[in-house]
Structure formats: C-alpha cells, structure tokens
Amino acid sequence: MTQELLADLVAEGGAVVLSGAGLSTESGIPDYRGETGRRRRGEPMTYQAFVGSEAARRRYWARSHVGWRHVTGAAPNDGHRAVAELQRRGLVSGIITQNVDGLHQAAGARDVVELHGGLDRVVCLGCGRRTSREALDRRLRAANPGWDAATDAINPDGDAVLPDERVEAFAIVGCEDCGGVLKPDVVFFGENVPPARVRHCYALTGAANLLLVLGSSLTVMSGLRFVRRAAEAGIPVAIVNRGATRGDGHALLRLDAPLGAALTDLLSTLDAAGQPA
C-alpha cells in the first residue's frame, strides 16, 4: 500500500527531490551514517581547519587525490536513473542533492541544484577562479612523480584514509593565476551553503506539490530545513531511506527500502497505472 500511495503522490506531478548519500551507496560510494558509513575511519575536514593550516590542506589533498579516483569512477545506479526518468516524464520539477558526486547529472538529470557543491570543480580562495578537478589532478600528478597510496577506506566526499607518512610526502599546488589556496568547490563542515543557493532551494520547495526525500538521514540542518519548510506550508513529504531519519515526524509517507529497487518499483507502479512513459 505504501508503494501505491507514493505512486499516487508522484503521479500528481510537481515533485521536488531532495537526495542524500544513501542514493549513491549502490554506486559504491559509502554514506556517513547509514549501513555503509565509514565515519569511524576519520572525521571529515572542516572549513576552519582547511583555511587555517597548510598541514591540514596537505592532508586533505593527499587523501582526496586518492579518493577522487573512486568517486570519478562511480557510475549512476538504478535510483539515479529512475529520478532522471521521473524528471523526463514531467513528474519531477526540481532536484536538490546533498551529494557532491555528480551522479544525478551522469544519469541524465537536468538543472540539478548541488546544495553542497561538486567535487568536479576547484575554486581559488584568493581570486575566486573555478577550474576543473581533472586539470588539478593532472597538476598534482606532475608535482608528485612516483607518489602513490592504496586504501579501501573511502568516505562519501572522496576523502581516503591514508597513513601519515604518505600524507607528509605529498606536494600541494596553488592557483595558476594568483598562487592562492585551492579548495574543492564543495561546502565543508563548518562552512555555510551560499545564501542564494538556499533561497533557490526554498523557492523550489515552496512551489512543490510533493517533497520526495531519497537516501538522506536528514541529520544536518542543511537538508532538514527544507522538509520543515514543506511541512509548515502543508506540502506533503515522502521519505524513502534505509533507517530512521530526523524528518520522519514531518512525513506523510515513510518507506524503508533500498533506493534502487524502490524507485524502479515506483516506475513500474506508475506504468501499471497508465501514467505516460
């Protein structure tokens, strides 16, 4: 019955998706707090530590240099493809993701709002220039001939866990234009999401007929605030996630299931009901 109710809500159109790390676990990218979470293997970098210490930046870029290969090699899963298909059918009017892996876009989704930025870009904290992560990867390889490190401990933000001696042997590079500090174009812990981006997400949420939360525990306020705003406005909230979420009390519908299977079943239910493909 829950799947049928979800299909009924989505079939009305105007759904806005709010996705989290749980949507990407089936692509091999672990989440922080769910069944594949590996937070125990190291705390994520904070903005304050990154800007305040060259040693912290060296640690981040060495670990990310290894972890980036894992993230960039990941492929969209059935859940990402289902969201893109719902958008193609005109049933999803907006996609807000807390993920930084770009897998929604790789699956064919359009106009995705990356709430926390994207790992495929790098920004200079001095002059503000944005460049591609691929270009930085080539520069880091050139600056570190013969450097390599293997690990199976990868966090969802592409942060690999490495021994200290490998980190200390890693050379970092600055902005090619001004020599300034380079940072991934993502929102670190302790950093604020740009206000214009938040306003855009509030506008999408406020205009939605349904807020569909996919694979997020809603533990942090950056995602939970949109659930609260929708509930306050009387907009139904549906949550599909493995395990409890902080927004469950606001949800009209709560489905605990693997995301890929649940969203594939949703498409099948819509097809069976005669919803145009």
| Domain boundaries of the chain, sorted by first residue | 2-272
pLDDT at 174: 98
215, 259 contact by CB (below 8 A): yes
Q: What confidence tier does 40 reach under pLDDT thresholds 50, 70, 90?
A: very low
Q: List the structure tokens of 163.
A: 């021994």
Lowest mean pLDDT among 1-5, 24-28, 31-35, 172-176: 31-35
Interacting residues of 74 by C-beta distance below 8 A, sequence separation 6+ = 24, 27, 28, 29, 101, 103
Bridge-based pairing of strands 117-124 and 182-186 is antiparallel
Positions at the binding site for NAD(+): 98-101, 215-217, 241-243, 259
Tell me whether residue 65 is one of the annotated catalytic residues: no
Q: What's the CA gap between 43 and 189, in Å, rounded?
A: 10
Residue-wise pLDDT tens digits, 74-85: 999 999 999 999
Bridge-based pairing of strands 210-214 and 237-240 is parallel
119, 102 contact by CB (below 8 A): yes
Q: Report helix, strand or coil for 135.
A: helix
Residue-wise pLDDT tens digits, 124-153: 999 999 999 999 999 999 999 988 765 555
R_g of the chain computed on alpha carbons: 19
Q: Which CATH class is domain 2-272?
A: alpha beta
65, 170 contact by CB (below 8 A): yes
The one catalytic residue among 65, 70, 116, 250: 116
Positions at the binding site for Zn(2+): 124, 127, 175, 178
pTM score, whole prediction: 0.91
Positions at the binding site: 98-101, 124, 127, 175, 178, 215-217, 241-243, 259
pLDDT above 90 as % of the chain: 78
187, 116 contact by CB (below 8 A): yes
